[in-house]
Structure 1
Amino acid sequence: MTAPLLDARLVVDRGTFRLDVPVTVAAGEVVAVLGPNGAGKTTALRALAGLQPLTAGHVTLGGVDLDHPDRRAWTPAERRPVGVVFQDYLLFPHLSARDNVAFGPRRHGVDRRTARRTADEWLTRVGLSGYAGRRPGQLSGGQAQRVALARALAVAPALLLLDEPLAALDARTRLDTRAELQRHLTAHGGATVLVTHDPLDALVLADRLVIVEGGRVVQEGDAVTVTARPRTDYVARLVGLNLYRGHAAGHTVRVGDGLTLTVADRLDGEVFVAFRPAAVALHPHRPDGSPRNTWPATVVGVQRHGDNLRVQLDGPIAVAADVTPAAAAQLRLAPGQPVWAAVKAAETNAYPAT
């Protein structure tokens, strides 16, 4: 098996918070680090960039220790073969787009003429050949993002770090820029780490997802694995699933406050059970017929969700249900309204919790 280009264990102590996250990335691979606010995503990125020294662990890139406290190895940020695109881009406001992109090569000892030629080549690659003389204040958000990406890639980094690279863009610009960014990441031969809170950015751009909560990795894998089998409430919400942990005995799983669900999969021991909000049917009275799983619930909230309404329910388990506006009107859904919820066993996905 080929050794990863980036091999890191990021251990950083900040007051009472400890980050302890292993990260490996192969050449040409894009790894997305996702997590809620305060999970440690930005601290991890700063540690890789050399802006936050490690307390313990290591950052090894291409077999070279960039930060290894036990060995007293430390490479400052400006000497690392690392390109960074920050959330707010941090372009130099007094420099043109060309000179912003040329800044990296110049810092690496390239002469002014060659650095500017390299900058022009990269601006052409990102579709901004006609904007070389413009300053950041004369660029749109999407154009500034592309200049920041060109600046990061102009030094041919072994490691590219992207910190919420699309967060500052409006929805339409974000869609176009995401597609453009995907093209450049595919062509990048180094390792890439994308830090984001947006699941769509991660699913479109990354080959592998690393989910961080409370400074620890709680789940890791390709998009199909992570989205099909979430292991925490955060990941379940990220992919739009109801998730419960319970104890299985054959085709039944005891979850929540004494509720027993019938599931399609036969399992024993600690398990997770997941199902889509669209799989939850709501009834004014206890339903008869095929649903094996029914329970009384109380509406605690109703919000628009795409073309449907998302209904938040309380009861033996807290659950989200997606219903049509017509169904909501027929049921007269409002906070405090009692209903019956039902989920067919065939709509559940149960899997081991260990």
Structure 2
Amino acid sequence: MTLMDAHLIVERGGFRLDLELTIGRGETVALLGPNGAGKTTALRALAGLTPLSGGFLTLDGRDLSATPPEQRPVGVVFQDYLLFPHLSARDNVAFGPRRHGVDRRTAHATADRWLERVGLTDHGRRKPRNLSGGQAQRVALARALAVDPVLLLLDEPLAALDARTRLETRAELRRHLAAHPGATLLVTHDPLDALVLADRLVIVEDGRVVQEGDAATITARPRTDYVAQLVGLNLYRGRGEGHAVRLESGFELTATDVVHGDAFVAFPPAAVALHPSRPDGSPRNTWPATLTDIQRHGDNLRVRLDGPIVVAADITPAAAAYLDLVPGRELWAAVKASETRAYPAE
């Protein structure tokens, strides 16, 4: 059941956000996009902090398009948490209910329950400066949820945490989101946060939705360069002619899929094999390439290659040593047709 239905139109200077967005009851939607795509503008518009130039916002059947921020049933966790430095953790969490007219004793009882739920019962008297990053994030989440929001907005909620704390807090946040009966919008640039926390992904570029769907759909069939980079695939667009996709440059890539007309073709960097000379055997896609960059990528190396197509390839350190990889090295690249996916661009 749709709980939030919005068409957000915001015009600021030369930028225009034109975003249609729905979120179901109990659903978490991740809004992803490059810097300047409009993610934060969308979140601020939903919170009422940025006025709409057009469109609408309805929550649980109520039109809130012109409702002031303090009267919206919305909870927000900002990237830097924005806890009140002069208030204790308990009073920070109680602040929302108090603003909604709840008496002090009831608000503090609500705060105590939420601090217990986020595992901070013994930290209620601490000021924000005496909390760790993970603890501050949990206080901010408790503060947002203490008002029983119909819509919960999370703005890069894990970005300020170190890697270890982020891993632990992500798992805990997932548990709280699963228990939240309202709608949740997660704004993030981190694909792992989106994949772990969200039921559905919405990709926005230049103020517009370019792709949306569940994680499996997005990762299998990216439709823009940004999405391809997000999910770690090499992506090209061309004209499908059966098993072959001819790119604008005239270079042709072969796949096992059959496509006709405007098409995408994609393959992971791990599918690219590098050879010192032209390979013999089964690969249907081979081309000469020049190494332009090499960087560590997890336990392997990520290399960038120029040539008929620009491509990323993942290889082991042992393979790099064997190939004597240095920028400018001339190589041959190969990708099996069976590891290449082609699909319609329309």
TM-score range, shorter chain: over 0.9
Match of 2:227 among 222, 232, 235: 235
How many Å separate the matches in 2 of 1:88 and 1:246? 43
Answering whether residue 136 of structure 2 is matched by residue 136 of structure 1, we say no
Contact 1:8 1:23 in 2 (8 A): yes
Residue 336 (str. 1) matches residue 328 (str. 2) = yes
The aligned amino acid for 2:260 is D
What SS class does the counterpart of residue 173 from structure 2 fall into? helix
Distance 1:125 1:256 in 2: 56
- Report the secondary structure of 1:169's partner residue: coil
How far apart in 2 are the matches of 1:19 and 1:262? 38
Counterpart residue identity of residue 66, structure 1: L
Is the contact between residue 40 and residue 215 of structure 1 (CA under 8 Å) also seen in structure 2? yes
User: What is the CA distance between 1:261 and its match in structure 2?
Assistant: 1.2
Contact residue 256 and residue 316 of structure 1 kept, 8 A: no
Q: 2:184 aligns with which of 189, 192, 199?
A: 192
Q: AA paired with 2:202? A: V
Deviations 1:208-229 (A, max 9, x none): 0000000000000000000110
Residue 178 in 1 paired to residue 176 in 2? Answer: no
1:92-147 Cα offsets, whole Å, 9 max, x none, are: 00000000000000000000000000000000000000000000000000000000
Q: Of residues 14, 31, 35 in structure 2, which corresponds to 1:33? A: 31
Aligned partner (choices 305, 314, 323) of residue 313 of structure 1: 305
Quote the Cα distance in structure 2 between the aligned partners of 1:281 and 1:309: 13
Match of 1:42 in 2: 40
> What is the Cα deviation at residue 6 of structure 1?
0.3
TM superposition shift of 1:259:
1.1
1:96 is aligned to 88
Question: Which residues in structure 2 correspond to 1:2-151 (within 5 Å)?
Answer: 2=1, 4-67=2-65, 74-151=66-143
Structure 1 residue 267, shift from structure 2 partner? 1.2
Change beyond 3 A, Cα 1:256–1:311: farther
Q: Compute the displacement of 1:256 (Å).
A: 5.0
String of CA shifts for 1:283-333, please: whole Å, max 9, x gaps: 111111111110011100000011111110011111000011111111111
Shift, 1:257, TM fit:
2.3
Letter in 2 for 1:351: Y
The aligned counterpart of 1:71 is none
Q: Which of 258, 266, 269 is the equivalent residue of 1:274?
A: 266
Q: For residues 161-187 of structure 1, give each alpha carbon's deviation from its aligned partner in whole angstroms, at most 9, with x where no partner exists.
A: 000000000000000000000000000
Cα shift at 1:351: 0.5
**AA of the residue aligned to 2:20:** P
SS of aligned partner of 1:5: strand
Whole-Å separation in 1 of the counterparts to 2:324 and 2:182: 56
Amino acid in the other structure paired with 1:251: H
Checking the alignment, whether the CA contact within 8 Å between 1:244 and 1:256 is kept in structure 2 is: no
Amino acid at match of 2:106: T
1:256–1:317 Cα contact (<8 Å) kept = no
Q: Distance in 1 between matches of 2:216 and 2:247?
A: 25
Query: What is the correspondence of 1:316-327 to structure 2 with a 5 Å cutoff?
Result: 316-327=308-319
SS at match of 1:177: helix
User: Which amino acid in 2 is paired with 1:46?
Assistant: R
Cα deviation, residue 258, structure 1: 1.9
CA distance in 2, matches of 1:24, 1:257: 39
Q: Distance in 2 between matches of 1:245 and 1:334?
A: 29
Q: Distance in 2 between matches of 1:153 and 1:89?
A: 13
> Are 1:258 and 2:256 counterparts?
no
Q: Which amino acid aligns with 1:229?
A: R
Select 2:195's aligned residue among 194, 203, 207. Answer: 203
Give the TM-score, by structure 1 length. 0.97
User: Partners in 1 of 2:342 and 2:217 — Cα distance?
Assistant: 14
Equivalent of residue 290 in structure 1, options 274, 282, 286: 282
Is there any run of 5+ residues in structure 2 with no aligned partner, and where?
Answer: none
Supply the AA of the counterpart residue of 2:177.
Answer: L
- Give the alignment partner of residue 164 of structure 1, picking from 156, 166, 174: 156
Identity %: 76
Question: Contact 1:296–1:315 at 8 Å: present in 2 too?
Answer: yes
Runs of 4+ in structure 1 over 2 Å off: none
Q: Mark the CA change 1:284 to 1:256 in structure 2 (over 3 Å): closer, same or farther.
A: farther
Matched position secondary structure for 2:209: strand
| Matched residue SS, 2:171 | helix
2:239 to 234, 247, 254: 247
